[in-house]
Amino acid sequence: MSKVKERILLLLSDFITINIAWVLYYLIRVESGWIPYTAASAFLIPLGAVYLYWILIFSFAGLYQHWFVRSRFDEFASVIKTVSFGCFILFFLIFLDDAMSDTKAISRFLILIYWGLMIVTVGSGRILIRSFQMTMLQKGIGLRNAIIVGTGKRGGELESLLTKFPQLGYKFSGYVSLDNSHDKSKNLGMTGDLKKIIQEKKISEVLIALEEHDKEKLFDIIRSCQETDVNLKIMPDTYEIVSGLAKTNQLYGVPFIEVMPEIMPYGSKLFKRVLDVTISGVLLILLAPLLLIIILSIKLSSRGPVFYLQQRVGRGSKLFNMYKFRSMVKDAEEYGPEWAGEKDPRITGIGRLIRKVYLDEIPQLINVLKNEMSIVGPRPERPYFVEMLSREIPYYYKRLTVKPGITGWAQIKHKYDSSLDDVREKLKFDFYYIENMSLKLDFKIMVNTFLVIIFMKGH
């Protein structure tokens, strides 16, 4: 089932079940006569408000995030957790309303009834959808074309699992071998032809099942798939190779390690974007007088333009021009790109000051408004260094799967990078951020960045 169809089904199910829960609650609360109340409650306006409230809560909780195959138990558990959180908020809102209106406390405990109704109705709707998905997959409808990389014992075991459990959603298309020794009829070619095989066979899933002695080839396989729109999963025996770079999922007892899963829910991504635009707009307005002083200082202290435009590599390897206040002498890189050291003689007097408190980065708020960058994310690099680092570090491309940022986890945890070794060290922090992206982590990074600026610990 496609992402769009799945989301439409989930939204339709929630529309029906959330409103059913409210109708049942209204009947118990008002029409049944079991519970006394001082004034008749409205029906339609609260119905719409409550529905919008739950759609917002479900979105931020990731309940509309695409799951190709998800067990009914996991779905129901997510519903319980999210509904409980939403009702917890409602409880305190009702508590405040009761306190201000001097209402009897009985209205507060009605939330328990509503909590139970929401879990039963929404949970049932979600289970029906996942059951429908499973039924379709068992009938061979909606299966994804999958190949197995690895032709040894583990590859054979994985093929058996796919055949035994059609609910996993995979249609086995064949093997990709690591050498010429494999002569099975299901062999589609070697790993060198992986990109071509994916395109010709319209592969959606690449399942990696390597033998113990082939583990060192894992990163080459991953790199071969980096420019294709496929999902990569690894049998758990090779977990230690990508330690910290993967997320484990399990279905029907079949474990898979998903490489580069979608961590941040859709609702959180949307809120992150709204936050980016809001913060950028507000800061540009509030800092306008300071920006004018910086512009005049740069113009009067050294020859050259005020702003420095530098081509950087963004999400999906897309190139964009990153804006900065010029902090170096004119034509500082006339002999080619190079990292700036902490005491780089090319840095001007004003440049050294604005670098100390990161004021040279303020124009990047324009990049944020243009949706080329985010407030928080891995720092974007120049094409020259990306190409070099991609050769030196096999998994460097992971940084290009998320939107780059003005500040990031690596920037608050590591010193100024002036060599390849520094960049390698910072990558560990970038990967930690990518695999743990959340609004909470973003907020933590922003607070720490603010403290760095206040105490002038910049570079």
Indicate the residue among 206, 225, 259 that finishes a domain.
259
* 8 Å CB contact between 18 and 54: yes
Domain CATH number, residue 166: 3.40.50.720
Are residue 200 and residue 335 in the same domain, yes or no?
Answer: no
Q: In what order do the strands lie in the sheet with 254-259?
A: 187-190, 170-177, 144-149, 205-208, 231-234, 254-259, 246-251
Which tokens go with 47?
């119905």
DSSP track, 31-72: ISSSS--SSPPPSHHHHHHHHHHHHHHHHHHTTTS--SS--H
pLDDT at 183: 57
Are residue 321 and residue 436 in the same domain, yes or no?
Answer: yes
Letter for the amino acid at 290? Answer: L
Are residue 178 and residue 317 in the same domain, yes or no?
Answer: no
pLDDT at 29: 76
Split into its structural domains, the chain has a count of 3
Indicate the residue among 138, 155, 181 that finishes a domain.
138
Are residue 274 and residue 421 in the same domain, yes or no?
Answer: yes
Are residue 292 and residue 434 in the same domain, yes or no?
Answer: yes
3-class SS of residue 365:
helix
Nearest to 290 by CA among 223, 359, 357: 359
Which residues of the chain have a pLDDT value below 70? 1-2, 31-41, 66-70, 95, 97-109, 180-185, 226-227, 236-256, 259-263, 265, 331-345, 394-395, 414-420, 455-459
Which tokens go with 111?
């939330």
pLDDT at 435: 75
Residue 450 lies in a domain: yes
Q: pLDDT per residue over 221-241, tens digit each? A: 877 776 677 888 887 654 444
Are residue 209 and residue 118 in the same domain, yes or no?
Answer: no
Are residue 229 and residue 286 in the same domain, yes or no?
Answer: no
Residues 6+ apart with CB under 8 A from 390: 396, 397
Residue 123 lies in a domain: yes
Are residue 397 and residue 322 in the same domain, yes or no?
Answer: yes
d(Cα 361, Cα 402) in Å, to the nearest integer? 20
d(Cα 378, Cα 388) in Å, to the nearest integer? 17
Are residue 231 and residue 371 in the same domain, yes or no?
Answer: no
pLDDT at 106: 55
Is pTM, for the whole model, over 0.75?
no
C-alpha of 424 from chain center: 22
Indicate the residue among 229, 244, 259 that finishes a domain.
259
* 8 Å CB contact between 59 and 267: yes
Are residue 194 and residue 167 in the same domain, yes or no?
Answer: yes
Are residue 83 and residue 28 in the same domain, yes or no?
Answer: yes
Q: What is the CA radius of gyration of the chain?
A: 27
pLDDT at 430: 86
| Residue ranges making up the domain that contains 46 | 3-138
Q: pLDDT per residue over 329-357, tens digit each? A: 776 555 555 555 556 667 787 877 887 77
Residue 459 lies in a domain: no
Are residue 132 and residue 154 in the same domain, yes or no?
Answer: no
